[in-house]
Structure 1
Amino acid sequence: MPNIPREGPVRQVPVTGYTLALSWSPEFCKAREGQVSQNMQCSGDRGRFGFVVHGLWPEGRGTWPQWCPTARRVSPAQARGNLCLSPSTALQARQWAKHGACMVRKPETYLRVTRILWDSLTFPDMDRLSRQDELTAGIIRERFLMANRDWRADAIGIHLNRRGWLEELRLCYGKDFRPAECDARRFGARDSASVKVWRGL
């Protein structure tokens, strides 16, 4: 597993909630199909990914904890067990080092909690949504709620790039890992915002 250099300051603050960041893989892979470092996710050799786990992030009050000191690392076996939901061993290692170590003591616990949250979700038909005329962030939230009845609209963050293409869902949780209201930073696009969804074709 790669050695992950610390980028930014150590910030140890009380955890007030969590964010599960889910990248829209076709958008991420645009122009990355030939990159060796992104081969598993973007080459198409192992199928096409939809949403994938960017990371599970602890949140603080007005900030977030990061880079909490730890000597523990994600092992190759642990990373392999999560490649279907997070198809990059380097990404998993970095997410543990930057975020997970501020949540729990062991990387296997961090990865297990991430998988439990992932397995609890059902995703709307993004191919169909991508073809909808006048698609908005509100419509995506509505379809996500239809597929996940225990969720709430104000807990579904939608992040777009500057050209209006879907980049990421950021699902907001309280300390009890139940859906909770996102702050403005995580909520992202308002319901009225126009959205385009790249299908990777």
Structure 2
Amino acid sequence: MRAGFAGVAALAALLPAPALAQAYQCRAPQVASVPRIVPDGPRRVLPVTGYTLALSWSPEFCKPRSRDRSHTFQCAGKQGRFGLVVHGLRPEGARDWPQWCEARTALTPADIRGAMCLMPSERLVARQWAKHGACMVKRPANYLKVIRILRSGLRLPDYDRISREEGLTAGRIRAAFADANPEWPEAAIAVMLSPRGWLEEIRLCYSKTFHPVRCPPARRGAKDNTPAQIWRGL
């Protein structure tokens, strides 16, 4: 069930052309085929009550993958250094999230290439569409357009500079994002840390109508006083 489709479609209509993140340094590669994605869990068709946009801190992701050929585009440094990149947009349900819904329209190599400067992995784009996007809209192009709209409305803090601050905490990371985006209350921003305290993701909680909304306790991530570190890729 694609509950909330009207709101998604209305949002998609606002952006007639792609707006690429980090376009000043990113040139999307040619994409010859769509990666095959195998579901890693059960199919869940549930009413949509909201959304989560996950922004991954690329230096942390690339730390053990700089020489991994499957992550060359994101991690080899030939496109410059990525900072926060889109991990995906997930619909949420009242108690669980919809996933692995039946896709009515196939993802194309052109769809993937158009998203690569936002989501710098062919497999990531294919997986997010198959697992989450197909539960939101009928066409992958609309799912990716909504992601571009949401991302284009965000201002990203200088986490490279903030990483050098003494006594850094998850609360400081959260507050920096809220300071850069005054329309975002800190309660709608989740900070996800690795088991060793390194920043992995910023997750933004949206209502069904794509307005910032308080994250449920189970989705808010690290508490404000949790010590944190940010890997700069050095």
Alignment gaps of 5+ in structure 2: 1-33
CA distance in 1, matches of 2:218, 2:65: 27
1:186 and 1:27 map into 2 onto residues whose CA distance is: 20
Deviation at 1:71, TM superposition (A): 4.3
Select 1:66's aligned residue among 99, 117, 129: 99
TM-score (norm 1): 0.98
Q: Which amino acid aligns with 1:33?
A: S
Contact 1:73 1:97 (8 Å CA) reproduced = no
Alignment of 1:124-135 (within 5 A): 124-135=157-168
SS of the residue corresponding to residue 73 of structure 2 reads helix
Q: How does 1:33-44 map to 2 (within 5 A)?
A: 33-44=66-77
1:199 is the counterpart of 2:227: no
Partners of 2:212 and 2:149 lie apart in 1 by: 14
- Per the TM alignment, residue 137 of structure 1 is displaced from its structure 2 partner at its CA by 1.2
Q: CA RMSD in A?
A: 0.9
Aligned partners of 2:51 and 2:206 also within 8 Å: yes
Structure 1 residue ranges, 4+ long, deviating more than 4 angstroms after superposition:
none
Choose from 115, 118, 121 the match for 1:82: 115
1:126-171 per-residue CA deviation (whole Å, 9 max, x = no partner) reads 1111000001111112111111011111000000010000000110
Partner of 1:25: 58
CA contact 1:124–1:143 (8 Å) conserved in 2 = yes
Please say if 1:9 is aligned against 2:45: no
1:56 to 89, 108, 117: 89
| Paired AA for residue 149 in structure 1 | P
Q: How does 1:140-155 map to 2 (within 5 A)?
A: 140-155=173-188
Counterpart CA distance in 1 for 2:218 and 2:110 is: 34
After TM superposition, the score normalised by the length of structure 2 is 0.84
Aligned mates of 1:121, 1:29 — CA distance in 2? 23
Q: Match for 1:105 among 112, 118, 138?
A: 138
> Which secondary structure does the structure 2 equivalent of 1:27 belong to?
helix
Residue identity in the other structure for 1:66: Q
Letter in 1 for 2:167: E
Q: Which residue type is aligned with residue 190 of structure 1?
A: K
Q: Sequence identity of aligned pairs in percent?
A: 57
What is the aligned residue count?
Answer: 201
